[in-house]
Structure 1
Amino acid sequence: MKNLILLFALTLIFNVSAQEEDMSNLNWLTDLEEAKLISLKEKKPILLYFTGSDWCAPCKMLKQDFFSTPKFEEKAEKMVLVMVDIPRRVDIISPEQKKINMDLVRKYNKNGSYPNLVALNAKGKVIGEISGYTFLRETDRHYAFVDSVLENY
């Protein structure tokens, strides 16, 4: 029984570590107010990423196919990134962060689409949005969206 518990604990630790390693080269914030200050200071657009990290299959695919690529990492240097995670598991984010994230969903993701990318200016005004990701795993629309935000900011 002790071995089974140990095996379960090790599996859990490995899964949490693997989640944290994904997109680790990117500086994802969780505080929009902090992102606005950085956006204003550095004259960069804000990219909100609405995800359900533990339940949304298209979110997981987009993370792998888009966010975890060198091509996106290069573009990310010109943006302020904010991850708005709405997980089902209660141990992924704190209750306080979940409340903050739900407030952001109500304000910027009213349709409840996941994954959903919303670009903002430093004042928090929406300047673009793209939602969804298909099982065809084509990222062209997402790169075009990011390029458009960067070109027009």
Structure 2
Amino acid sequence: MKKIISLLVIVAASTLMTQAQELQWHTNLEEAKEVAKENKKTILLYFTGSDWCAPCKMLKKDFWNSQEFLRIADNFVLVELDEPRRMDIISDEQRKYNRSVAKKYNKQGSYPLVVAMSYKGKVLDELSGYSMLRDTSLHFALVNRFVK
């Protein structure tokens, strides 16, 4: 009985830790730039198609939600700009805003796209796409360059 209780406590604790480690995503680049400036952090701008882009869904699970990324996430200000097909996922205002930012930083319309930038909006590097082999090494190579 003690083993079962101990196991339940461990499961509950790990669930709480995972929930506590949820990423904080901004949806406004200008606000994110202010936060990045105040905290001297690099911005990771993520263009996704959350409800239709299979590589985006895999990248979220394999990279963004990985324990390895969660350990370094505090080094960044995260911005997610979604381009869903379903109309009920984001507001019309957010959709218009996301498209206006995409005109500047995602001219090719690539999904997923990760853009590393300074708080001034200077693009430092970017990575387009995600391997169907689910290899996150290129994404970690990109972000690890900016870990302090």
TM class, shorter-chain normalised?
0.7 to 0.9
Show structure 1 runs of 4+ deviating over 3 A: none
Correspondence for 1:29 among 13, 26, 30: 26
Looking at structure 1, the residues matched to 100 and 145 of structure 2 have their Cα atoms a distance apart, in angstroms, of 27
Q: Which residue of 2 aligns with 1:150?
A: 147
Query: Aligned letter for 1:59?
Result: C
Q: Which residue of 1 aligns with 2:63?
A: 66
Q: What's the secondary structure of 2:57's corresponding residue?
A: helix
Does structure 2 retain, via aligned residues, the 8 Å contact 1:36–1:122? yes
Q: What's the secondary structure of 2:85's corresponding residue?
A: coil
Deviation at 1:150, TM superposition (A): 2.9
Superposition map of 1:71-82 within 5 A: 71-82=68-79
Looking at structure 2, the residues matched to 120 and 150 of structure 1 have their Cα atoms a distance apart, in angstroms, of 13
Deviation at 1:134, TM superposition (A): 1.3
Instruction: Give the TM-score of the pair, scaled to structure 1.
Output: 0.82
Correspondence for 2:136 among 135, 139, 151: 139
User: Is the aligned partner of 1:44 residue 2:41?
Assistant: yes
Looking at structure 1, the residues matched to 49 and 127 of structure 2 have their Cα atoms a distance apart, in angstroms, of 16
State the percentage of identical aligned residues.
Answer: 55
Looking at structure 2, the residues matched to 141 and 120 of structure 1 have their Cα atoms a distance apart, in angstroms, of 17
Q: Which residue of 2 aligns with 1:86?
A: 83
Q: Which residue of 1 aligns with 2:96?
A: 99
Correspondence for 1:118 among 115, 118, 121: 115
Instruction: Give the TM-score of the pair, scaled to structure 2.
Output: 0.84
Q: Which runs of 5+ in 1 are unaligned?
A: 1-21
> What are the superposed Cα offsets for residues 12-45 of structure 1, whole Å, 9 maximum, x if unpaired?
xxxxxxxxxx9x7000000111101000000000
| Paired positions, count | 130
Looking at structure 2, the residues matched to 59 and 39 of structure 1 have their Cα atoms a distance apart, in angstroms, of 24
